[in-house]
Amino acid sequence: MAMETTLSILKPDAVRKNAIGQILARFEAAGLQIVAARLVHLSRREAEAFYAVHRERPFFKDMVDFMVSGPVFVQALYGEGAIARNRDLMGATDPKKAAPGTIRAEFADSIDANAVHGSDSAETARTEVAFFFPTLAIHRR
Residue ranges in contact with ligand CMP by CB under 6 A: 54, 59, 63, 93, 111-112, 114, 117
Taking the complex as a whole, the smallest distance from the CB of residue 69 to ligand CMP amounts, in Å, to: 12
Of the residues 41, 54, 117, 139, only one is catalytic, namely 117
Q: Closer to ligand CMP at the Cβ: 16 or 59?
A: 59
Taking the complex as a whole, the smallest distance from the CB of residue 81 to ligand CMP amounts, in Å, to: 18
Distance CA 141, CA 9 (A): 20
Q: What angle do CA 126, 130, 132 make, to 5 degrees?
A: 130
Cα distances (Å, whole numbers) of residue 8 to 11, 18, 58, 124? 9, 17, 23, 12
Q: Closer to ligand CMP at the Cβ: 22 or 51?
A: 51
Distance CA 54, CA 82 (A): 23
Q: Which DSSP state fits 11? A: -
Active site residue 41: no
Q: Closer to ligand CMP at the Cβ: 109 or 139?
A: 109
Q: Closer to ligand CMP at the Cβ: 32 or 115?
A: 115
Taking the complex as a whole, the smallest distance from the CB of residue 53 to ligand CMP amounts, in Å, to: 9
Task: Return phi, psi of residue 131, to 5°.
Answer: -60, -45
Taking the complex as a whole, the smallest distance from the CB of residue 59 to ligand CMP amounts, in Å, to: 3
Residue 64: its H or E element: helix 60-67
Q: Looking at the annotation, which residues are catalytic?
A: 117
